[in-house]
Amino acid sequence: MAGDTLTSSEYIRHHLTNLTFGKTPDGSWAFAHDAAEAKAMGFWAIHVDTMFWSILLGVAFLYFFTRAAKGATTGVPNGLVNFAEWIVEFIDTSVRGSFSGRNSLVAPLALTIFIWIFLQNLMDLVPVDVIPKLSELLGIHFMKVVPSTDPNATFGMAIGVFALVLFYSIKIKGVGGFVGELTLQPFSSKNPVVNLLFIPINFILEFVSLIAKPISLALRLFGNMYAGEMIFILIAIMYNAGLVLGLFGGALQLGWAIFHILIITLQAFIFMTLTIVYLDMAHNEH
């Protein structure tokens, strides 16, 4: 495997380890040399590869859509402008179908989420050994190129959405209205004494439902993309070990890549759609 020096388990561990920068046990700050050292760095460690690729892809998104916006004319659009207009119309249709309030932030946010996550997921189609091998030539021993396979990235995006949900829930309904949603439903009674007894039950149920929103957003994206990456790695191991040969090995990779394109797009769409739905719920009274 990987230069004929790694076992299958070492190969998998190597490809699933982030380039981590953090505080070492001796108090200095440095890059981790293995997975165990990266784990020992704790909460304040930074996954440099996740940060690098997610920011790079975000900049690429902004660059191409800015070019498309500047190139838009009243005439027949060129390829880039036509593609951008198609994406914007698709997002606009999705927002109109799922969001009943009035908020100029929702459509740009939905566009950003869909394209950014799609680009992050798309990196999973890069052959698993290409960028890690190039990184090793530069002296970088670990390089994960799919940010959405890192739970830090998926939870970061989900927490950002959750913060907006909380902000608009309080802004639209007021503190009293938001607290009322958490304490006066789903169980209620015309008897005030019975209502007081229902408040802690309602709060537990509604609080769990509220917290489940960012957790489900993050874990759904992470789980699907992590599983897809694992399958690519396992196919590479079988190919390197001679368990799949020649054209069959290539066909196996190609077949999974084609199927994975659907997963890549679907996961970006689901994250975007749930974001729109959660913000719509924040704008509406129950």
Among candidate residues 8, 135, 195, 220, the one labeled active-site is 220
Contact 167, 274 (CB under 8 A): no
Amino acid letter for position 63: Y
If we measure between CA atoms, which residue out of 80, 110, 112, 115 comes closest to residue 95?
110
Active site includes 102? no
Residue 177 token pair: 């209205």
Q: What is the dihedral of CA 266, 268, 273, 275, to 10 degrees?
A: 150
Among candidate residues 9, 189, 216, 284, the one labeled active-site is 216
Q: In what order do the strands lie in the sheet with 46-47?
A: 29-31, 20-23, 46-47
Among candidate residues 94, 224, 240, 284, the one labeled active-site is 224
The span from the CA of 187 to the CA of 30, in Å, is 54
Contact 16, 222 (CB under 8 A): no
Active site includes 67? no
CA distances in angstroms from 180 to 18, 76, 187, 204, listed in the order given: 43, 53, 12, 13
The span from the CA of 272 to the CA of 130, in Å, is 30
Q: Supply the residues annotated as catalytic.
A: 216, 220, 224
